[in-house]
Amino acid sequence: MLDLSNNSLSGPIPPDLAKLSNLEELRLSSNMLTGTIPYHLANCTKLLVLDISQNLLSGSIPEEIVRMEMLRYLFLSGNKLTGLIPDSFTASQNLLELQLGNNMLEEAIPYSLGNLQYISLALNLSRNRLTSEIPASLGNLDKLQSLDLSFNFLSGFIPSELNNMASLSFVNVSSNHLSGVLPASWAKFVATLPNSFLQNPALCIKSDVFTFCKQEKDHKGNKTKFLIIFTVILVLLLLVAGLCAASYHRMRFHHWSESSVALNRHVDFVDLPKDLTYECIMHATEELSEKYLIGKGKYGTVYKAQIDNGLGKLCYAVKKIDLSEPSFSQERKVLAILRHRNLVRMAGYGITDGFGMIIYEYMQGGTLFEVLHQRKPRVPLNWELRHRIALGIAQGLSYLHHDCVSQVIHRDIKSSNILMDSELEPKIGDFGMAKIVDNSSSDTSWTPSSIVGTLGYIAPENGNSIKLTEKSDVYSYGVVILELLCRRMSVDPSFEDGVDIVTWVNANLKKVEQFNILQLLDKEISYWMEIERSNALKLLELAMSCTQQSSSARPTMRKVVANLVKLRC
């Protein structure tokens, strides 16, 4: 096995890797590899796992790679691959999982995918530019558990042959142009995976939960149907009004706590881990009791849920958000497209009366703000740790700005939104104010009705820009790095009124000599080795370049990552 994942490697994949004839696993994911996929890798005839996902690879997928018979896991997602998916899959192949999502692959889904008789784990073709109809041959994949064709340009009917996919436990065909009737065996997913069929206006969905079928224009009996529908809606409105009145009278006599949620209340969760249920969450948090509260933000409160699944204890962070706030749908929308080790992972979400819940992986290390400013005794941070934190945050932001299929601007980067695992590896969280940039449309939502962000982290242009850019995130990142180096808050109590950390550092840099700059930094840094102190000063210089007044003068996050990689001791 050769595993070089998560190492910030750049440049092309060396063709000489093909000389490793006995290699069984090649893992190069989450780097910055460029160029095309070498077809010579097919010479590694014993290869079982090929994972080159989350890079910057371009060009087409070599047919030689697709035809490898011993290969069981092929992960090419999260690159910039173009062209057609090779129509070269055969029944003799041993593929168990095929991940091609988050690329720019075009035209039709190859019919030969239906030949993969052993594929059982996942087939992911989401977030590409695939067109035409879903091939009926996919119905042959009766062992497949997960099928994701979402966010493409697929059209036509969903073939009835897909009823034969008896092992499916997850399916997503949302955001296409599908029409006709949903396969009968897929109706069960309407309740458990309601988002999996959205954004297909002409798709007829019939299930025990609800039925939605778009009406044909100029159809006979439309007038009668309209009257029936109008009558039903009127009756429903009267019933709702009656229920609201009854609820109002009950609330006059009974105090209802906002955090108290009845266990029998219906909630639909999406893509939760098998061992996690709504009842488990409510039981683990004693119905979202204050004693499990671990954080509060602008748009929600976060609780810790510890679940015992019989094999051990699992921890999740449960964020409760008022549904009247747009942040709930926005955060779900953003998190659904993100896959990076330095971004917090969403495990699922739920909706109930008046509020929504987003379930995250629980981060044992708390937040960077807590690590820097609140922990007692003080957490020692050597150069290696500070560099790892700075690089991890930068890699997460670089992914958002440059490597997502759609660019994402976070708009609220701050130390309290940087979550830390037990090894102090950072992950960016709280995407409630994030924006997905759609360059293909005129998005008027970019005109800010109010300044977004947090005091001390807000870029100067945020107060008057018509359209915010990713450079506002770069500024906020620079502030976080100044916090990391100086161990002072963005608006520290030791500063004069109206002074933030950027102003404070700039003012003091003009006063001190070069050899005294270390006095601005955390005292711990003065005890480091000379090369580490030198690197700390270079990191300070990088932070200052990120916080320049002019947004155009700031580096991109990709450039920041490249500079940080050079600073490794």
- Tens-digit pLDDT profile for residues 319-364: 888 776 677 777 888 887 788 889 998 888 877 766 788 888 889 8
- CATH for the stretch 368-566: 1.10.510.10
Read off the amino acid at residue 476. S
> With bands split at pLDDT 50, 70 and 90, how would you rate the model's confidence at 558?
very high
523 annotated among ligand-binding-site residues: no
> With bands split at pLDDT 50, 70 and 90, how would you rate the model's confidence at 415?
very high
Active-site position among 403, 412, 473, 522: 412
The dihedrals phi and psi of 113, each to the nearest 5 degrees, come to -60, -25
What Cα–Cα distance (Å) separates residue 180 from each residue in 89, 190, 212, 281, 482? 28, 16, 11, 38, 56
Q: Which two tokens stand for residue 103?
A: 């690329």
- pLDDT tens by residue, 44-98: 999 999 999 999 999 999 999 998 989 999 999 999 999 999 998 888 788 999 9
Angle at 359 between CA 358 and CA 363, to 5 degrees: 125
Q: Choose between 162 and 263: higher pLDDT.
A: 162
Report the pLDDT value the prediction gives residue 49, as an integer from 0 to 100. 92
Residue 449, pLDDT > 70, answer: no
**Domain boundaries along the sequence of the chain:** 2-212, 268-361, 368-566
- pLDDT tens by residue, 14-34: 988 989 989 999 999 989 999
* 412 given a catalytic annotation: yes
Distance CA 384, CA 134 (A): 50
Length of the chain: 569
- pLDDT tens by residue, 286-327: 988 889 998 887 778 899 988 876 667 788 899 888 776 677
Nearest Cα residue to 61 out of 44, 45, 74: 74
Name residue, tokens 């069981």: 72
Query: CATH 3.30.200.20: does it fit domain 268-361?
Result: yes
User: Helix or strand or coil: residue 389?
Assistant: helix
Instruction: Write a three-state SS string for 466-506.
Output: CCCCCHHHHHHHHHHHHHHHHCCCCCCCCCCCCCCHHHHHH
Q: Which helix (H) or strand (E) holds 58?
A: strand 58-59
The answer, yes or no, to whether the previous bond of 377 is cis (omega within 30 of 0) is yes
Distance CA 419, CA 112 (A): 44
Report the pLDDT value the prediction gives residue 134, as an integer from 0 to 100. 94
- H helix runs in 97-137, sequence order: none
Architecture of domain 2-212: Alpha-Beta Horseshoe (3.80)
Instruction: Kindly provide the b/e burial profile for residues 491-510, where b requires at least 16 CB atoms within 10 angstroms of the residue's own CB.
Output: bbeebeeeebbbebbeeeee
Q: Which two tokens stand for residue 104?
A: 């720019």
Angle at 314 between CA 362 and CA 349, to 5 degrees: 60
DSSP state of 176: S
